[in-house]
């Protein structure tokens, strides 16, 4: 296969992707008319220099001294922790529960924070269509990991105060939040005291693979997604393949990765990003949950960021590739939950992770939901939702007994 053929194919695929992006991003206005959906009490975490504001939401059981552990909730990409009020209430029957908004999400997003302040002060409606611009600094997940680190350390401190002793901490993380959490815990391997407090993590549909859009969008986008992911995986990292394949893969990567990085960066520049930033397509909502009530909530939720800068998308892909190179070193006990036919975070990423890590701890457990395509397991319709919440609570209880 000649390099000119590869370049031609890449140019065609890139053109198709950018054309579909332009169609989806030309008109986008979004408004909120109700204040941000708060739960628990708000604890402000003082920001270090150059860090943005962080609010930790805290919900305690009636007798917090009797809580055997603390639970930190971590939400997914472009959503917010305000959605998790019912989840927090469920676990707060027994545990001290905390949650926070990622960098550039929810009340950590300056546009959304200003809108909430105006609504609380009596304003009737606020335009928040530009909330996605807070993603302009996101070339990777490092700002999100910093926010997670601050939230986790504050959770540990509150757990000690509320429970009057050092209690274990568990993390329940969804989708991109699971990738952020897993990569943060791997980077924190030298922080022995911190890792000693984290006794387990629940990974819900973790972003360990790139998306696989269904339908006609998939016909257009999937070849480019696969090409980009393949090239990023092989870029300057041989995969023990035969020499001819090694030469081809490295040549393809050396052309593809810089070109796509440049295109996605240019598409994120001021002036261009206003019509090149994609809006979340309808199919995403269809695959989030099987609950019609929850779908209606999603449609009405103005605090969800509906657009995503392409620079951030490319950065997430690079983070997935980097994590997969090192995921065999992940040693925190985990409960992994994923859907077999989820197109948002496909099952093969979770299966690869399990093969590399399952043997690391006897309490590692997997719940593969066969014949299910939905991504947000905590928002499924009943009785599946409550059954999963019970499974998570039972796994945490099992870990508590094991640590005793």
How far apart CA 306 and CA 284 sit, in angstroms, is 11
46-69 tens-digit pLDDT: 876 666 779 999 999 988 778 999
Same domain for 310 and 394: yes
* Residue 23, domain member (yes or no): yes
Element of type H or E holding 96? strand 96-100
Place of tokens 């997003």: 109
Same domain for 200 and 123: yes
Give the residue ranges of the chain where pLDDT is below 70.
1-28, 48-51, 162-164
How far apart CA 124 and CA 120 sit, in angstroms, is 9
What is the model's pLDDT at position 163? 63
CATH code, domain carrying 339: 3.40.50.1820
Encoding tokens for residue 204?
A: 């819900």
How far apart CA 36 and CA 107 sit, in angstroms, is 8
Which of 353, 112, 356 has the alpha carbon at shortest distance from 209?
Answer: 353
**Do 42 and 69 touch, CB atoms closer than 8 A?**
no
Same domain for 127 and 61: yes
Distant-in-sequence, close-in-space partners of 382: CB < 8 Å, separation ≥ 6: none
Same domain for 138 and 46: yes
Element of type H or E holding 108? none
* Residue 66, domain member (yes or no): yes
User: Is the torsion defined by CA of 193, 196, 197, 203 positive or negative?
Assistant: positive
* Residue 99, domain member (yes or no): yes
Same domain for 247 and 395: no
For the entire predicted model, the pTM comes to 0.92
Q: If 0-12 CB within 10 Å is exposed, 13-18 middle and 19+ buried, where does residue 196 land?
A: exposed
Same domain for 298 and 188: yes
The alpha carbon torsion through 391, 304, 183, 199 (nearest 10 deg) reads -30
List alpha helices for 164-276, DSSP H: 176-187, 192-197, 215-234, 243-267, 273-276
* Residue 154, domain member (yes or no): yes
What is the model's pLDDT at position 274? 86
* Residue 324, domain member (yes or no): no
Phi, psi of 79 (to 5 degrees): -100, -155
Please state, as a whole number, how many other Cβ atoms lie within 10 Å of the Cβ of residue 184.
21
Same domain for 249 and 191: no
303-345 tens-digit pLDDT: 999 999 999 999 999 999 999 999 999 999 999 999 999 999 9
Same domain for 292 and 262: no
339 - beta bridge partners?
369
336: helix, coil or strand? strand
- Number of structural domains found in the chain: 2
Element of type H or E holding 57? strand 54-59
78-93 tens-digit pLDDT: 999 999 999 999 999 9
Same domain for 236 and 338: no
* Residue 323, domain member (yes or no): no
Phi-psi region of 317 (alpha: psi -120 to 50; beta: other; left: phi over 0): alpha
Q: What percent of the chain has pLDDT over 70?
A: 91
What is the model's pLDDT at position 65? 79
**What is the number of alpha carbons within 13 Å of residue 174 lying toward its C-beta?**
26
What is the model's pLDDT at position 164? 65
369 - beta bridge partners?
339
* Residue 187, domain member (yes or no): yes
Same domain for 186 and 121: yes
User: Could you tell me the CA-to-CA distances from 195 to 71, 96, 262, 356 in Å, in that order?
Assistant: 14, 19, 38, 20
Same domain for 302 and 230: no
How far apart CA 343 and CA 349 sit, in angstroms, is 11
Same domain for 302 and 218: no
Residue 344's domain comprises: 31-209+281-318+329-403
What is the model's pLDDT at position 23? 42
401: helix, coil or strand? helix
What is the model's pLDDT at position 19? 43
* Residue 90, domain member (yes or no): yes
What is the model's pLDDT at position 24? 46
* The total number of residues written for the chain in this structure: 404
């Amino acid at each position: 296969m000649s390099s000119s053929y590869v370049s031609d194919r890449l140019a065609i695929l890139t053109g198709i992707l950018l054309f579909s992006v332009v169609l989806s991003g030309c008109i986008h206005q979004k408004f909120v008319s109700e204040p941000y959906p708060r739960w628990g009490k708000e604890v402000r975490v003082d920001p270090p220099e150059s860090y943005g504001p962080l609010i930790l939401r805290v919900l305690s059981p009636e007798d917090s001294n009797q809580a055997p552990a603390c639970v930190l909730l971590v939400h997914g990409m472009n959503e917010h922790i305000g959605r998790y009020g019912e989840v927090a209430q469920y676990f707060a029957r027994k545990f001290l529960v905390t949650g926070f908004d990622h960098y550039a999400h929810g009340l950590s997003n300056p546009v959304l924070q200003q809108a909430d302040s105006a609504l609380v002060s009596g304003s009737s409606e606020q335009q928040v269509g530009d909330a996605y611009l807070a993603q302009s600094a996101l070339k990777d997940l490092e700002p999100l990991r910093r926010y997670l680190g601050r939230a986790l350390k504050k959770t540990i401190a509150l757990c000690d105060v509320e429970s009057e002793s050092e209690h274990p901490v568990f993390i329940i993380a969804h989708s991109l939040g699971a990738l952020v959490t897993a990569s943060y815990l791997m980077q924190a391997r030298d922080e022995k005291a911190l890792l000693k407090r984290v006794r387990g993590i629940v990974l819900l549909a973790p972003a360990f693979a790139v998306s696989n859009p269904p339908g006609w969008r998939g016909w257009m986008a999937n070849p480019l997604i696969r090409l980009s992911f393949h090239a990023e995986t092989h870029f300057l990292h041989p995969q023990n393949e035969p020499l001819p394949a090694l030469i081809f893969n490295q040549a393809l990567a050396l052309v593809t990765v810089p070109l796509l990085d440049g295109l996605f960066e240019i598409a994120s520049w001021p002036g261009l990003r206003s019509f090149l930033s994609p809006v979340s397509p309808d199919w995403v909502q269809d695959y989030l949950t099987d609950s019609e009530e929850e779908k209606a909530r999603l449609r009405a939720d103005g605090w969800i960021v509906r657009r995503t800068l392409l620079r951030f998308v490319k950065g997430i892909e690079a983070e997935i590739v980097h994590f997969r190179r090192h995921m065999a070193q992940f040693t925190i006990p985990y409960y992994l939950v994923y859907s077999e036919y989820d197109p948002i975070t496909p099952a093969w990423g979770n299966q690869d992770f399990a093969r590399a890590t399952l043997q690391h701890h006897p309490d590692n457990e997997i719940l593969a939901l066969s014949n299910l395509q939905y991504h947000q397991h905590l928002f499924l319709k009943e009785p599946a939702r409550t059954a999963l919440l019970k499974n998570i609570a039972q796994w945490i209880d099992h870990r508590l007994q094991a640590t005793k």
